[in-house]
Amino acid sequence: MQNDQEFGIAAEAALDGLKRHLVARGEEEPAVFEVERRKGKLNVLFDHPDARFEISPNTPLHQIWICALATSFKLNWDSRMEEFILPRTGETLIALVERLIGERRAA
């Protein structure tokens, strides 16, 4: 990522893609969560018990941050894959959010 503008474009596309993925997933199975996009952030809202995942761009660091399950996840842009990934696991944004939703449901 060369600059803030390139990061902003990539982050917007990633969050939009994640939102589309989650909305489509919600249509395939009974809704266990709602997806809300506000003020540049994407929130995944759960009813039982009341909980939320917050997914937001961090422009100064050129990362996407996820606050979920009492943990912070910081994803970096991988220019080879052209996706945001979690460095320690190699998970893409969508794969990580899917795993976190599964862990939340299992808890």
| pTM for the whole structure | 0.92
Which residues, 6+ apart, have CB-to-CB distance to 34 below 8 Å? 26, 44, 45
pLDDT digits (tens, 9 = 90+) for 51-105: 899 999 999 999 999 999 999 999 999 999 999 999 999 999 999 999 999 898 8
Report residue 7 as tokens.
Answer: 């990061």
CATH T-level assignment (fold) for domain 4-106: Metal Transport, Frataxin; Chain A (3.30.920)
Counting every residue, how long is the chain? 107
